Homo-oligomer: A and B are copies of this chain.
Amino acid sequence: MVRIVIFGQGLVATHFAIGLERLKNGEIPDYGVPLSNKIPIKYEELEIVGSYDVDTKKIGKTIYDVAKEVFGDTNIPRQLRDVYVRKGIHLDSMKGLPFKAEGLEEQKGLLNAINDLVDEWKSLKPDVFVNVITTEPANKLNTIENIENALINQKLSASQAYAYAVAKYSKETKSSVFINAIPTPIANDPGFVELYKESKAIVLGDDGATGATPLTADLLEHLAERNRKVLEIAQFNIGGNTDFLALDIPERNFMKKKTKSSIVEDILGYNVPNYIKPTGYLPPLGDKKFVAMIIEYISFNNFKDELYIIARINDSPALAGQLVDLARLAKIALDREEYGTIYPINAFYMKNPGPKEGKSIAKTKAYDKLLQWLGIKHGN
């Protein structure tokens, strides 16, 4: 069994929980799970054993109840009635958002909060932790020393605190994996990677690659392989879920813009004027975001072509499907004892693949590297 703990019981985590149980119940096909049955870990082996959040409306409820409020009463798998949402670490990660939030650290301090979590996990025995809290502002800490200082001064972000707790748990109890699906640099932070190596733990990250960014990466590769000169890229994103609401706050938006626009130069090999960032929050769109893109390029004989792309993407299910793979790959990586971070996994599943030196490459090239890491031959 692969025992999973969730940080942040938002839409992504809820889609992950519902989708996973439906998969196990045979109620849905496994579309959107990239590796499907290409790897030997079965969906039945995955089990969600715990969940943490700081929204006071969620704490104490079951995942079933949280899901019901979003999706109505139909089709929520009954298994989710058994998993309760516990109070997690806040550290102002929800500041400025219209939710009432409370964190474990508020009464007992951060150090004690982390110790309590690690103790709790000693009985829960998780193998994999999935971090899908709302995008938060955060900076790299670069060394273990800086991490520990920040911990003492309560200067960590919520994700960094969770990541630290997972390392501590791995060191003290059982090797485990922290999957960081949000922009906070963890797998890209040399300090955390070092800490994880020391702790016999694995961090996968950062920032789950779904939506328009991986598509853009592959389109740019397509153009690069034809030696077309890209003149500019504009990519608008607008949606109505909590993440878009959060990204309306400039310093959170900046976290996203950084990981999104870095791919352009990495893939093309030259700098291109671009506008790639979450653009706005429009509630009626809900979780199905609207993406509009323009790419202009120079073709042979100096002619200019134009490419326009419009996409309507269900934001949360896309990431949730990839988490099903990541949890399974985490198990494989644990079995192989590849501690630290694993670029061939990150390069495909993450917008900003760690470690720090890890370049953004086209996803289709990353896919080949992933299969190679797995020892699988591509169909073609």
Segment touching B, from A86-94, A121-129, A197-205, A289-297: A289-297
The answer on a CB contact under 8 Å between A364 and B222 is: yes
Q: A301 to B18, Cβ gap below 8 A?
A: yes
Residues of A278-300 at the interface with B, using a CB-CB cut-off of 8 Å, are 279-280, 282-285, 290, 292, 294, 296-300
Residues of B within 8 A of A299 (CB): 31-32, 313-314, 317-318, 321
> Is B311's CB under 8 angstroms from A305's CB?
yes
Chain B proximity mask over A1-37: 1 for CB below 8 Å, otherwise 0: 0000000000000010011001000001111111110
Contact (Cβ within 8 A) A302 B228? no
A326 at the interface (CB under 8 A from B): no
Q: Measured between C-beta atoms, what is the minimum distance from A347 to chain B in Å?
A: 9
- Is B303 in contact with A314, judged by CB distance below 8 angstroms? yes
Q: How many residues of A contact B (CB 8 A)?
A: 78
**Per-position 1/0 for A213-233, Cβ under 8 A of B:** 011001101100111110110
Known contacts A227-B31, A282-B275, A303-B317; decide if A380 and B364 are in contact (CB<8 Å): no
The dominant DSSP class at the A interface is: mixed
Q: Does A363 contact B (CB under 8 A)?
A: yes
A275 to B284, CA, bound (A): 12
Bound CA span A36–B226, Å: 9
In the complex, the answer to whether A22 meets B305 with C-beta atoms within 8 Å is no
Choose among B304, B320, B364 the residue that contacts A221 (Cβ–Cβ < 8 A). B364
B227 and A302 contact, CB distance less than 8 A? no
Distance between A67 CB and nearest chain B CB, rounded to angstroms: 11
Do A300 and B283 touch (CB < 8 A)?
Answer: no
Q: Which of B225, B313, B314 contacts A367 (CB under 8 A)?
A: B225
Write 15 A-B pairs (CB below 8 A) sorted by A numbering: A15-B301, A19-B300, A30-B227, A31-B228, A31-B229, A34-B226, A36-B227, A226-B321, A234-B236, A234-B282, A236-B236, A292-B294, A300-B320, A300-B321, A359-B380
